[in-house]
Structure 1
Amino acid sequence: MARRTVTTAAALAASAALLLTACGGSDDKSSDDIKGADKRSSSPSASASATTGGDGPDLGLPKDFELVFDFDKPSDAKHAAALTDAQNYMRAIYHGIVAQDPDDPAYQYYSDAQGAQYAKSQIQAAVKGGWTITGTDKYYDAETTTLSGGKRVLVTFCENQAKAYSKEIKTGKVLRTEENLDSYLKHRLLMVPSSGSPQIWKVQVIEVLGKAKECQA
């Protein structure tokens, strides 16, 4: 999909460093290798749409765009909540793109720090380019991992954006692209409970890796 602005190598390196720091480590070990980490997998089985609670922001999207989250719900309540709000964060980014509002309250509700900066940059790119979104964007192969201290959860999942397209706002022209390795992305989100509402989980750090061969099935 032409519309997606994937973070640059420098930005990825910075976010990865921040991720490791947030996980309580400063060496080169992956967060998956943290001693005592409780890793739980959610394999895809059925399509699901993330929804928000009664007091949450509007996450509505147009009928010509569908988000598919092909995740199983983790048995651990903390992991399930973190995964749900990771979905809400992705939906909130698209809500901001459709609204053409870089200050949309939806993504701010589900993120802070670098997570909020990333969301805003994606929406700003859409506004500057004069495009919105159409088609179907699919997320799958979710995993959730408890990080050191037990208060944070690392959520990872794949994305196939081959059937999601940019659409020019002025002309309505859909910018279609053929499926290729660029269609596959790997997301890593550091989720933390909101200080104001502990039942809400926010994206503190997001790392997006393009051309993710492990997501190509």
Structure 2
Amino acid sequence: MARRIAPIAATFAATAALLITACGGGDDSSSTDDIQGADTGSKSPSASASESADSDRPDVSLPKDFKLVFDFDKPSDAKHAAALADAQNYIRALKHGIAKQDPNDPAYQFYSAAQAAQYAKSQIEEYVKGGWTVNGTDRYYDEDTTTLNDGKGVLVTFCRNQAKFYGKEIKTGKILYTEESLNSYQTFRLLMVPPSGSSEVWKTGNIEVMGKAKECQ
């Protein structure tokens, strides 16, 4: 579980400046995601991962017994909408890497940089080490988007309910069911770095995950 960083917007703003100019160098705060928990919801969904599109975007398909739900509304601001859509793509790519059991999967690398790429790799490695894949329904909701002080990066925040998201043992097919509790709820904060050059991709440069998020219940 991630440690709480107090002035999160200020920290992300400083990191954004580094990422935008140098394209690298996140901090060490790679939070460990809960292996077995996460549910989903369904408002009017924002632009889905498959909608925001370069022809070169990687495959982020998921197993049939796993449902990833983003219960988001699409922001009216085009920049915020694009950042939110690629924040979803990053989460989807991370789950795709787990399903593929590949800590070096190109999908999450396409949608992330610096610390966020390290975080995704560490999450996939944990599942590979445990012999687990994803199962059930993973829900993300209560999104918010904020332009950072640099005027370029966007801070994306949302809640997660893991109550109906489970690990599944690859060898046996056994589903590792868990009971809903405060541990089921998390808050995510993603620093989205704007596209550079001819790219249209917003990359996740930094991610913070806070466990036992009462505000998400």
TM more than 0.5: yes
Could you tell me how far apart the structure 2 residues matched to 1:186 and 1:97 are? 21
1:161 shift after superposition? 1.0
Once the two structures are superposed, the pairs formed by residues 158-173 of structure 1 within 5 Å of their partners are 158-173=159-174
- For 1:181-196, what aligned pairs fall within 5 Å after superposition? 181-196=182-197
- Give the corresponding residue for 1:145: 146
Q: Tell me, what secondary structure is at the counterpart of 2:135?
A: strand
Identity %: 65
1:50 is matched with which residue? 49
Q: Which 4+ runs in 1 deviate beyond 4 A?
A: 12-18
Q: CA deviation at 1:193?
A: 1.6
TM-score by length of 2: 0.81
The residue type equivalent to 2:128 in the other structure is V
- The CA deviation string for residues 93-133 of structure 1, in whole angstroms up to 9 with x for no partner, is 00000000000000000000001000000000000111001
1:199 and 2:200 correspond? yes
* Structure-2 separation of matches of 1:93 and 1:84: 14
CA contact (8 A) 1:50 1:69 kept: no
Aligned: 1:82 with 2:83: yes
Aligned-residue Cα RMSD (Å) equals 2.0
- The alpha-carbon deviation at position 188 of structure 1 amounts to 0.3
- The Cα shift of 1:45 comes to 2.4
* Distance (whole Å) between structure 2 residues aligned to residue 104 and residue 193 of structure 1: 22
Report the AA paired with residue 21 of structure 1: A
- Contact 1:15-1:206 within 8 A present in 2 as well: no
Cα deviation for residue 196 of structure 1 reads 4.4
Using a 3 Å threshold, how does the CA distance of structure 1 residues 159 and 127 change in structure 2: closer, same or farther?
A: same
CA distance in 1, matches of 2:125, 2:212: 23
TM-score normalised by structure 1 residue count: 0.81
User: 1:14: Cα distance to partner?
Assistant: 10
Letter of the structure 2 residue corresponding to residue 75 of structure 1: S
Counterpart for residue 67 of structure 2: 66
Change over 3 Å in CA distance of 1:60–1:177 after alignment to 2: same
Gaps of 5+ in 2: 18-41
The aligned amino acid for 1:160 is N
Secondary structure of 2:104's counterpart equals coil
The structure-2 alpha-carbon separation of the partners of 1:14 and 1:129, relative to structure 1 and needing over 3 Å to count, comes to: farther
Distance in 2, Cα, partners of 1:65 & 1:214 = 26
Letter in 2 for 1:103: N
Q: Is 1:133 the counterpart of 2:111 in the alignment?
A: no
Give the corresponding residue for 1:208.
209
Amino acid at match of 2:118: Q
* Secondary structure of the corresponding residue to residue 149 of structure 1: coil
1:19–1:104 distance in 2 versus 1, CA, 3 Å: same
Task: Please tell me whether the aligned partners of residues 74 and 80 of structure 1 are also in contact (alpha carbons under 8 angstroms).
Answer: yes
CA deviations on 1:77-99 (whole Å, 9 max, x unpaired) are 00000000000000000000000
Residue pair 1:166, 1:174 contacting (<8 A) in 2 also = yes
- Corresponding residue for 2:37? none
